[in-house]
Amino acid sequence: MHELIRANDPVLLSFAESLLKDAGIHCFIADQGMSILEGSLGMLPRRLLVDDEQADRARRILVDAGLGGELRAPK
């Protein structure tokens, strides 16, 4: 899995997830369950992950949607 975004903003993550799912790209938001442990304070970031094979395509979709500044540096 390839990490595209790491953020505390649930709206940003939901928007990015929606864009990718509409494009037929399977994605996963990791660390959502950690909010229960932290008391839902939003201190621990969540990670948007995609399959390695889809990472370049997903990155292009998010950049085209104006989310380029939110993307993690490619590895």
Whether this prediction's pTM lies above 0.75 is answered by yes
pLDDT tens, 60-74? 999 999 999 999 998
Instruction: For residue 62, give the amino acid letter.
Output: L
Q: What are phi and psi of 24, to 5 degrees?
A: 80, 20
Domains of the chain: 2-70 (3.30.70.790)
pLDDT tens, 27-47? 999 987 775 666 656 678 899
Distances from the Cα of 28 to the Cα of 3, 14, angstroms: 10, 11
Residue spans of beta strands (DSSP E) within 8-45: 27-30
Q: 23: Cβ–Cβ under 8 A, 6 or more apart, which residues?
A: 57, 58, 61
Q: How far apart are CA 30 and CA 34, in angstroms?
A: 9
Cα 26 to chain centroid distance, Å, stands at 11
Q: What pLDDT, on a 0 to 100 scale, did the predictor assign at position 33?
A: 73
